[in-house]
Amino acid sequence: MIATIPQSKTFKWTYRVYVTLFFIYLALPLTVVCAFAFNDSVFPSLPWEGFTWAWFFGDESPYIGVFNERSIIKSIGTSLFVAFWVSMLSIAVGTSNAFLFVRYDFKFKEFLYILMLLPLIIPGIILGISILVFSNTVANNLEDATGMWFDGLRPGLPLVILGQFSFIATFATLVISARLEKFDRSLEEAALNLGASKWGAVRQITLPFLMPAIAGAAVVAILMSFENFNTTLMLVGSDAPLTITMFDRLKQGSTPVLNAVSLLLIVVSALLGIASLLFQKKEG
Amino acid sequence: MTQAQSRLGLYLLMTPLMLWLLLLIIVPHIGMFLVSISVKTGVRQYVTGLGNYMVFFTEPLYWNTFARTAFMSIAATFLTLVVGFPVAYYIAKLTRGRTKTTLFLMCLIPFWVSELVRTFGWMILLRETGIFSSFLQYIGVLSGPVEFLYNDAAIMIGLVYTSMLFMVVPLVTTLDSLDDSYIEAAYDLGGNGISILREIIIPHAMPGIVSGCIVVFMLSLGNYLTPILLGGKDSLWFTGLIYSQFITRFNWELGSAFGFLLLGLSSAIVWAGLKLSRQSLTDTVGR
Amino acid sequence: MTQTDADAQFDLECRKLNKDFSGFRAVKDVSFGVPKGTFFSILGPSGCGKTTLLRMIAGFQEASSGDLLIKGNSMIGVPPNKRPVSMVFQHLALFPMMDIEANVGFGLRQRGVPREEIAKRVETVLARVGLPGVGSRQISQLSGGQKQRVAIARCMVLEPDVLLLDEPLGALDLKLREHMKIELKTLQSEFNTTFVYITHDQSEALVMSDQIAVMNHGEFEQVGSARELYYAPNTAFVAGFVGEANKFTATVDAAFGDAVTLVTQDGMELKGISPVAKMQKGDKAEVFVRPEAVRLATEADKFGGIENLNTGIVENILFNGANSHIILREEKSGGEMNVAIPQTGEFRDLNKGDKIFIGWEAAQTRCYAAGA
């Protein structure tokens, strides 16, 4: 049960074996994905045909590596573009929300707070279709009324960004609020007392204090945006982010180039994940 | 700070929140509801009615898929709990310091990676030409290649895998807060492993169990990737129906109705879970 | 099991008990026996190994060597849930997920006692600790003192041979602690169960215990009654740890039997006794004089033929009611001394800078070999 309570050897070993098996289960899929990025074969499966870097750098068909595969490079660019804007929007709105919920009392505060949490429990695919339906209706009506085209309201990157933002903003709000709750108001009062303006005190004292949380939220937002699939799937237009491109490729049958992309994704996500943990530690 | 300034600040901060919630959450859902109750009678001609919902109840494929999705999600939630609990307990109570941090990180890392990559990994392992099939042939258990993909077990493995983090993290957090002396006291008073698990550990871990289960259930219900990729074309997952109504058949009215049914089921289960455990949404997801 | 009567006379007995933690011996060769119905305290500073010893008795730590017997039966290899001991934890460990009745009945449920009987026995034991009818309340609804009593009831309902208490009063505020000392002692004599109580607070140990073991660096320094420890400490550590004392480092000037004459570092001459070690001229010694053993007088002849007689200048008065002290500087040597003020009113007008005579008996001046 716990270290201080004697247990039979059999039990201890069974437990250890179970936990080990669990971690093998966790590691297995990612390990094979990474391993087959280096297999010198056009299918990501056994037998092992030897080690190659071709799926990263190759430029001769069928060995076209990630870095020479234009559609993948382009969708990585798209993903980065989406992630950047989602992250910026989320931390801006998240910071504003944090000040609102932590510093102010107003009517329906509780209600608005719960409403703010809702995107977390709405399935992503439904967030996607509701925004799709709504923007489409608005676009139709506007076009009927004005006779102009409103491409921004049709499936495409602006809608993808808004769709992802609609639930990632909740995460940002929670992370930044938690930090703001810990802020000692008397620091701000001291700044005011020393002659700072209201906004000056917030800018010079409070925002620097919030910085680790804001940076952490930005990293988490980028991660979530990068790997989002459900919401994106419903809102995507002709420019596909990476997950959508990979999904289409997977349905057609995979080549190790997908393993190579996945390996890059794993490395980058792990680095970003650790970065967000470091930001959290800094908050400490 | 004067009263007027304070009100100005309040309104300024309120604006982005209201824009976000109204334009991206509330109005779209109302819009979707309105679409779901409009029945098409001709080109761009609609009447209000429950026709789309009637279609759902009269077509067995639809509500069978709905029930199947719900049932499989409950099963996946239960499995995730059963598989994850011992591991969470091990991390929380039987390891310390560095080992604990390392094991916890090892649980986190797979989930920073896109779900697509994780599912891809399972495809490489399970498909006909995959690792399992090859390995079993190699050791002589199988005589020819076997397809492990495209069945319910594969979907289950994928769902449990994908949701594991959302179970393990809240469990580790609550179990961590259980003081060792409670377990010692119970043991000292004559308790054994099973009675302590039942009377001390599980009651203490209940908040973590509930929030883990709620999140895992929601994620499974709303999952699209895992059932489609691991379960194949006939995976009969409700999100798949919604997708095909929207994208392939272009029947948005029916698709919206399906979306609302899924949202209703998901909310009902979350609500029931919270009521049963007497917790609030704020405590459970708003950690 | 064949046991001689001599073995079974103790409820709890330890024989040469040792506990090693990777290269560090937390408990060294501890041997003692606790007769039935005794309130036995283990007193020592934090880190002295008392918690480890208690947890070995409870079964949460395995002994590295030695034997541990309860009612004559060896407990080595017996898991904690099979030992006839119960423990009151430092923070009580009352289960917050259960009400009081379920808490107190927990042990009986584990034994498979029928439900009606559990209810009856729980109610009886709650009444015995003075909390009848609280069964359906939640733990959080109790006060600190009530929680203590529930924790004791939860153990006593199982009728253990030995009740272990791990500094349970530590978390209480001062007033309640004073009150609970008396209450614990009363409960113990009422249940007539052997209590083993560990604490770092000497007043808890002195007030409640029949027997006290003073523990330091994993070893028992001395086992005895409160009075023995106070009046006749066997080691320098006990003399310094139990009660208050003025401590001097001194050199032996002359020794005759156990009577010694010493000179302190500051040059003050002391007459004392050396109760344990034979001392010789030139030996280094540690000398202890209790503040309350020193008498004060305004005139030298009031003392009669007292062995140690000096004059001091009052440096500071620490007034604290019955527990008031003066710090004074001995005139000849300039050494500092702490002396208790007898609260007879005689010295109420004493002021800083006043000159006063101090005297104490050689028998109250206890010397121990230095560095021993």
Q: Domain limits of chain C? A: 5-237, 244-369
Across the interface, do C55 and A5 touch by the CB < 8 Å criterion? Answer: no
Chain B residue whose CA is closest to C57: B188
From C97, C98, C110, residue closest to B190, measured CB to CB:
C110
Vertex A160 angle, CA A155 and A163, to 5°: 110
- Ranked by mean pLDDT, the top range of A19-23, B95-99, C177-181 is A19-23
C-alpha B264/C-alpha C19 separation (Å) is 61
This model of the complex carries an ipTM of 0.86
In 10 A of CB C344, how many CB atoms?
A: 7
More reliable by pLDDT, B281 or A80: A80
Looking at CATH, the fold of the domain delimited by B60-284 is given as MetI-like fold (1.10.3720)
Q: Is the pLDDT of residue B238 over 50?
A: yes
What is the predicted pLDDT for the residue at B84?
Answer: 93
Transcribe C8-23 into DSSP letters. Answer: HTEEEEEEEEEEEETT
Q: Is the pLDDT of residue A38 over 60?
A: yes
Asked if residue C205 lies in contact with residue C197, where contact means CB atoms within 8 angstroms, the answer is yes
- B113, B115, B270: best to mutate for the A interface, most A CBs within 10 A: B113
Taking Cα atoms as reference points, which of A12, C302, C176 lies closest to residue B193?
A12
C-alpha B74/C-alpha C307 separation (Å) is 88
pLDDT tens-digit map of B133-160: 888 888 888 787 777 888 888 999 999 9
C-alpha A190/C-alpha A204 separation (Å) is 12
Kindly provide the b/e burial profile for residues C87-114, where b requires at least 16 CB atoms within 10 angstroms of the residue's own CB.
Answer: bbbbbbbbbebbbbbbbbbbbbbbeebe
Rg (CA), chain C: 25
Contacts of B168 (CB under 8 A, 6+ apart): B84, B87, B88, B91, B107, B212
CA distance B178 to chain A (A): 11
pLDDT tens-digit map of B53-62: 888 888 888 8
C-alpha A35/C-alpha C128 separation (Å) is 70
Rg (CA), chain A: 24
Domain boundaries, chain A: 70-253
Q: Is the pLDDT of residue A239 over 60?
A: yes
CATH code of the domain occupying C244-369: 2.40.50.100
pLDDT tens-digit map of C219-266: 999 999 999 999 989 999 999 899 889 998 899 988 888 889 998 888
Transcribe C154-193 into DSSP letters. Answer: HHHTT--SEEEEESTTTTS-HHHHHHHHHHHHHHHHHHT-
The amino acid that residue A40 corresponds to is D
Chain A residues with CB-CB distance to C55 below 8 A: 4
Q: What is the 3-state secondary structure (H, E, C) of C296-330?
A: EECCHHHHCCCCEEEEEEEEEEECCHHHCEEEEEE
Stretch 110-139 of chain A: residues touching chain B, C-beta under 8 Å: 112-127, 129-135, 137
Chain A residues with CB-CB distance to B114 below 8 A: 226-227, 229, 243, 262, 265, 269
Q: Is the pLDDT of residue C1 over 50?
A: no
Confidence of residue C372 (pLDDT cuts 50, 70, 90): low
Q: What is the pLDDT averaged over residues B198-222? A: 89
Asked if residue A283 lies in contact with residue A179, where contact means CB atoms within 8 angstroms, the answer is yes
CA distance C342 to chain B (A): 46
Q: What is each CA distance from C158 to A26, C94, C106, C137, in whole angstroms?
A: 46, 16, 10, 21
Q: For the ranges A126-140, C105-119, C330-344, which has the lowest average pLDDT?
A: C330-344
Taking Cα atoms as reference points, which of C71, C60, C140 lies closest to residue C103?
C140
Stated pTM of the model? 0.83
Chain A residue whose CA is closest to C81: A5
What is the predicted pLDDT for the residue at B276?
Answer: 78
Q: What is the pLDDT averaged over residues C288-312? A: 85
Residue C111 forms beta bridges with which residues? none
Asked if residue A175 lies in contact with residue A97, where contact means CB atoms within 8 angstroms, the answer is no
Q: Is the pLDDT of residue B2 over 70?
A: no
Tokens 């034991």 — which residue?
C125
Percent of chain C with pLDDT over 70: 97
What is the predicted pLDDT for the residue at A282?
Answer: 67
Q: Is the pLDDT of residue C152 over 50?
A: yes
C-alpha C76/C-alpha C55 separation (Å) is 13
What is the predicted pLDDT for the residue at C125?
Answer: 92
Neighbouring subunits of A (3+ Cβ pairs under 8 A): B, C
Tokens 């153990």 — which residue?
C155
Pairs of CB atoms within 8 A across A/B: 242
For the record, the structure tokens of A281 come out as 């530690």
Across the interface, do B180 and A198 touch by the CB < 8 Å criterion? Answer: no
- Sheet harboring C211-216: ordered strands across? C85-88, C162-166, C194-199, C39-43, C211-216, C219-224
Across the interface, do A266 and B24 touch by the CB < 8 Å criterion? Answer: no
Domain boundaries, chain B: 60-284
Architecture per CATH, domain C5-237, reads as 3-Layer(aba) Sandwich (3.40)
Q: What is the pLDDT averaged over residues C293-314? A: 84
In 10 A of CB C117, how many CB atoms?
A: 11
What is the predicted pLDDT for the residue at C3?
Answer: 45
What is the predicted pLDDT for the residue at A90?
Answer: 95
- The crossing angle, in degrees rounded to 10, of helices C115-128 and C144-156 is 130
From B187, B199, B204, residue closest to C80, measured CB to CB:
B187
CB-neighbour burial class of residue B186 (10 A; exposed 0-12, middle 13-18, buried 19+): buried
Q: CB of C90 within 8 Å of any CB in chain B?
A: yes
- A5, A9, A11: best to mutate for the C interface, most C CBs within 10 A: A5
For the record, the structure tokens of C249 come out as 């480092």
Tokens 């006692």 — which residue?
C113
Secondary structure of residue A50 in the 3-state scheme: coil
What is the predicted pLDDT for the residue at B3?
Answer: 66
Across the interface, do A30 and B1 touch by the CB < 8 Å criterion? Answer: no
Stretch 165-194 of chain A: residues touching chain B, C-beta under 8 Å: 165-166, 169, 174
The amino acid that residue B287 corresponds to is R
Architecture per CATH, domain A70-253, reads as Orthogonal Bundle (1.10)
More reliable by pLDDT, C300 or A229: A229
Rg (CA), chain B: 24
Across the interface, do A33 and B120 touch by the CB < 8 Å criterion? Answer: yes
Confidence of residue B81 (pLDDT cuts 50, 70, 90): very high
Q: Is the pLDDT of residue C57 over 70?
A: yes
